Amino acid sequence: MLNGPNLGLLGTREPGVYGSKPLEQIVCDLKEKGRQLGVCIEAFQSDIEGELVSKIGESAGRIDGIIMNPAAFTHTSIALRDALQAVDVPCVEVHLSNTHAREEFRKENMTAAACVGQVMGFGATSYMLALDGLVNHISGGK
Protein backbone atom coordinates (compact mmCIF):
# COMPACT_ATOMS: atom_id res chain seq x y z
CA MET A 1 0.00 0.00 0.00
CA LEU A 2 1.66 3.19 -1.21
CA ASN A 3 0.30 6.62 -0.36
CA GLY A 4 1.46 9.90 -1.83
CA PRO A 5 1.69 13.50 -0.70
CA ASN A 6 -0.52 14.96 2.01
CA LEU A 7 -2.23 11.65 2.76
CA GLY A 8 -0.49 11.68 6.12
CA LEU A 9 -2.82 14.60 6.90
CA LEU A 10 -5.99 12.57 6.42
CA GLY A 11 -8.50 13.06 9.19
CA THR A 12 -7.86 16.79 9.38
CA ARG A 13 -7.25 17.76 5.73
CA GLU A 14 -10.50 18.80 4.05
CA PRO A 15 -12.68 16.14 5.70
CA GLY A 16 -15.58 17.11 3.45
CA VAL A 17 -13.55 15.89 0.47
CA TYR A 18 -11.29 13.19 1.94
CA GLY A 19 -13.23 11.99 4.99
CA SER A 20 -12.37 12.15 8.66
CA LYS A 21 -10.55 8.83 9.01
CA PRO A 22 -6.77 9.19 9.55
CA LEU A 23 -4.42 7.24 7.29
CA GLU A 24 -3.25 5.15 10.26
CA GLN A 25 -6.83 3.88 10.72
CA ILE A 26 -7.23 3.16 7.01
CA VAL A 27 -3.99 1.15 7.13
CA CYS A 28 -5.19 -0.80 10.19
CA ASP A 29 -8.52 -1.53 8.54
CA LEU A 30 -6.84 -2.66 5.31
CA LYS A 31 -4.40 -4.89 7.21
CA GLU A 32 -7.33 -6.51 9.01
CA LYS A 33 -9.14 -7.11 5.73
CA GLY A 34 -5.88 -8.49 4.34
CA ARG A 35 -5.65 -10.96 7.24
CA GLN A 36 -9.20 -12.09 6.49
CA LEU A 37 -8.21 -12.65 2.84
CA GLY A 38 -4.95 -14.38 3.79
CA VAL A 39 -2.66 -11.62 2.52
CA CYS A 40 -0.06 -9.46 4.25
CA ILE A 41 -0.22 -5.69 3.78
CA GLU A 42 2.79 -3.39 4.02
CA ALA A 43 2.08 0.34 4.09
CA PHE A 44 4.23 3.32 3.15
CA GLN A 45 3.40 7.02 2.83
CA SER A 46 5.65 9.75 1.50
CA ASP A 47 5.37 13.30 0.31
CA ILE A 48 8.52 12.67 -1.77
CA GLU A 49 8.01 11.34 -5.30
CA GLY A 50 11.40 9.63 -5.48
CA GLU A 51 10.74 7.61 -2.32
CA LEU A 52 7.54 6.24 -3.88
CA VAL A 53 9.41 5.45 -7.12
CA SER A 54 12.03 3.57 -5.09
CA LYS A 55 9.38 1.56 -3.24
CA ILE A 56 7.83 0.53 -6.55
CA GLY A 57 11.25 -0.49 -7.86
CA GLU A 58 11.90 -2.56 -4.73
CA SER A 59 8.59 -4.41 -5.18
CA ALA A 60 9.69 -6.53 -8.15
CA GLY A 61 10.08 -10.16 -7.11
CA ARG A 62 9.18 -9.31 -3.52
CA ILE A 63 5.46 -8.56 -3.48
CA ASP A 64 2.44 -9.74 -5.45
CA GLY A 65 0.60 -6.46 -5.91
CA ILE A 66 0.42 -2.75 -5.15
CA ILE A 67 -2.46 -0.59 -3.99
CA MET A 68 -1.42 2.99 -4.60
CA ASN A 69 -2.97 6.35 -3.95
CA PRO A 70 -0.54 8.64 -5.76
CA ALA A 71 -2.55 11.68 -4.58
CA ALA A 72 -1.38 14.86 -6.35
CA PHE A 73 1.34 12.90 -8.17
CA THR A 74 -1.49 11.29 -10.15
CA HIS A 75 -1.66 14.40 -12.29
CA THR A 76 2.04 15.03 -12.75
CA SER A 77 4.24 11.99 -12.27
CA ILE A 78 5.65 10.33 -15.32
CA ALA A 79 8.26 8.89 -12.93
CA LEU A 80 5.63 6.91 -10.99
CA ARG A 81 4.07 5.71 -14.25
CA ASP A 82 7.46 4.61 -15.59
CA ALA A 83 8.26 2.80 -12.33
CA LEU A 84 4.95 0.92 -12.45
CA GLN A 85 5.61 -0.07 -16.06
CA ALA A 86 9.15 -1.19 -15.20
CA VAL A 87 8.09 -3.80 -12.65
CA ASP A 88 5.95 -6.86 -13.26
CA VAL A 89 3.71 -6.14 -10.28
CA PRO A 90 0.00 -5.38 -10.78
CA CYS A 91 -1.19 -2.13 -9.27
CA VAL A 92 -4.65 -0.81 -8.43
CA GLU A 93 -4.86 2.96 -8.17
CA VAL A 94 -7.02 4.40 -5.40
CA HIS A 95 -8.50 7.83 -4.82
CA LEU A 96 -10.70 8.80 -1.90
CA SER A 97 -12.65 11.32 -3.98
CA ASN A 98 -13.92 11.05 -7.53
CA THR A 99 -11.23 13.06 -9.27
CA HIS A 100 -13.37 13.36 -12.42
CA ALA A 101 -15.97 15.33 -10.45
CA ARG A 102 -13.44 17.85 -9.17
CA GLU A 103 -11.26 20.58 -10.63
CA GLU A 104 -10.35 20.30 -14.30
CA PHE A 105 -6.63 19.70 -13.61
CA ARG A 106 -7.50 16.62 -11.54
CA LYS A 107 -8.97 14.92 -14.62
CA GLU A 108 -5.46 14.49 -16.06
CA ASN A 109 -4.05 11.16 -14.89
CA MET A 110 -0.47 10.11 -15.59
CA THR A 111 -0.49 6.84 -13.61
CA ALA A 112 -3.77 5.01 -14.28
CA ALA A 113 -2.71 3.52 -17.62
CA ALA A 114 0.07 1.63 -15.83
CA CYS A 115 -2.45 0.03 -13.43
CA VAL A 116 -4.72 -2.98 -13.79
CA GLY A 117 -7.61 -1.04 -12.27
CA GLN A 118 -8.75 2.07 -10.49
CA VAL A 119 -11.15 2.67 -7.59
CA MET A 120 -12.26 6.17 -6.63
CA GLY A 121 -14.95 8.16 -4.96
CA PHE A 122 -15.84 5.87 -2.05
CA GLY A 123 -13.66 7.44 0.63
CA ALA A 124 -11.67 4.97 2.74
CA THR A 125 -13.79 2.14 1.35
CA SER A 126 -11.97 2.67 -1.96
CA TYR A 127 -8.94 0.94 -0.42
CA MET A 128 -11.03 -2.08 0.61
CA LEU A 129 -12.55 -2.36 -2.86
CA ALA A 130 -9.08 -2.08 -4.38
CA LEU A 131 -7.81 -4.91 -2.18
CA ASP A 132 -10.71 -7.14 -3.22
CA GLY A 133 -10.05 -6.37 -6.88
CA LEU A 134 -6.30 -6.85 -6.62
CA VAL A 135 -6.56 -10.18 -4.79
CA ASN A 136 -9.10 -11.35 -7.38
CA HIS A 137 -6.82 -10.23 -10.21
CA ILE A 138 -3.76 -11.96 -8.76
CA SER A 139 -5.66 -15.18 -8.11
CA GLY A 140 -6.89 -15.19 -11.69
CA GLY A 141 -10.48 -14.41 -10.80
CA LYS A 142 -10.93 -17.59 -8.78
Active centre residues (catalytic): 18, 95
CA dihedral 113, 114, 120, 126 (to 10 degrees): 160
CA angle 101, 47, 85 (to 5 degrees): 75
Q: What are the respective helix, strand and coil percentages of the chain, to the nearest 5?
A: 50, 10, 40
For 8, 66, 86, the CA distances from 60, given in Å and listed in that order, are: 25, 10, 9
